[in-house]
Amino acid sequence: MAPNQRFGKNQASRSNDRDGRRTRPDPEPSSRESEDRRLNLVMGRHPVLEALRQGRPMSKIWVLSGMHEGSMREIWGLAEARHIPVRESPRAKLDLLTEGLDGPHQGVVAEVAAHSTVALEDLIAELQDEVQPMIFVLDGIQDPHNLGAILRVADAAGVRGVVIPERGSAGLTAVVDKVSAGAAEYVPVARVSNLVNAIETLKNQQFFIFAADPAAERDYTAIDWRGRMGLVIGGEGKGVRPLVRARCDGVVKIPMAGHIQSLNASTAAAVVAFEMVRQRVSTQG
């Protein structure tokens, strides 16, 4: 059975909205139902739209009553094409569904299948023929806001994959979806049991791995970032762990002129990633 085939049944039970689209009544969920769904929700116009464009399995979409214009028009159309039920609901219903999640729902919430991760070996295989792919390796990023922001940076900079550990790391939750603004649909995430071993595996595949560390002697601009490159970003507060740092080919710092001597993880990732992009573009030019 196709992922969404079962959701296209019982069409006769739906009522027509003002545009002729077919919806069906949506009973109010209990707080417990809302809690159970929370990790399988995507909220916000861009995240929901990108999930639809990428064909991510969905069971239903809730839309604020009366919202049919702008990007919502495309959401309605894609949902109808995939036979995904769309339920017009009052704001109180959407607020209840997203209770405890950060950020506004922007009038649209979707119940989706959880994001799946990829095996590191499969990610490497996809990059086998690429001359200079970039990869992020995240050492203990526990804040889902940071993970979501890093995925957004990765997509913007052309990073081809992100590696995270199974333990001590944020997962691919609804908050990550929302903060990534849909980038989580495009950037493969490999979850590994041992980050040190994963770095060794990448190095065996001709990746050069550098860690961002405020205590490093070399500036990030002193590195030739062309080629098969990986960047390790440490977790909030503790940074890159010593064992992980020891397996890297080197460490780099981002110079600080102010009183605060470190950057947010996603900001540090962006600074270095776009230096990689700058070097590659200038070479091509």
> Can you give the pLDDT at residue 12?
35
- CATH, range 5-112: 3.30.1330.30
CATH code 3.30.1330.30 region(s) in the chain: 5-112
> Can you give the pLDDT at residue 258?
73
What span, in angstroms and rounded, lies between the C-alpha atoms of 27 and 55? 26
Of the pLDDT bands very low, low, confident and very high (cuts 50, 70, 90), residue 257 is confident
Q: Let me know the angle formed at the C-alpha of 52 by 125 and 58, rounded to the nearest 5 degrees.
A: 95
CATH code 3.40.1280.10 region(s) in the chain: 120-284
Question: What tens digit of pLDDT does each residue of 107-152 get?
Answer: 999 988 777 889 999 999 999 999 999 999 999 999 999 999 999 9
To which residue do tokens 């950020």 refer? 103
Bridge-based pairing of strands 58-64 and 108-112 is: antiparallel
Mean pLDDT of 263-271: 93
> Can you give the pLDDT at residue 224?
96
Question: What tens digit of pLDDT does each residue of 210-233 get?
Answer: 999 998 999 999 999 999 999 999
Q: Residues with Cβ < 8 Å from 178, sequence gap 6 or more?
A: 42, 43, 44, 47, 101, 102, 103, 148
Top CATH class of 120-284 equals alpha beta
Flag whether pLDDT at 61 surpasses 90. Answer: yes
Flag whether pLDDT at 159 surpasses 70. Answer: yes
What span, in angstroms and rounded, lies between the C-alpha atoms of 100 and 175? 10
DSSP for the chain, please give it.
--TTGGGG--GGG-EE-TTS-EE---PPPPHHHHHHHGGGEEESHHHHHHHHHTT--EEEEEEETT--STHHHHHHHHHHHTT--EEEE-HHHHHHHTTT-SS--TTEEEEEPPPPPB-HHHHHHHTTT-SS-EEEEEES---HHHHHHHHHHHHHHT--EEEEESSSS--S-HHHHHHHTTGGGTS-EEEES-HHHHHHHHHHTT-EEEEE-TT-SSBGGGS---SSEEEEEEBTTTBS-HHHHHHSSEEEB----SS-----HHHHHHHHHHHHHHHHHHHH-
pLDDT-above-90 percentage for the chain: 58
> Can you give the pLDDT at residue 261?
64
Q: What is the pTM of this model?
A: 0.70
Buried b (16+ CB within 10 A) or exposed e, 171-189: bbbbbbbbbbbbbbbebbb
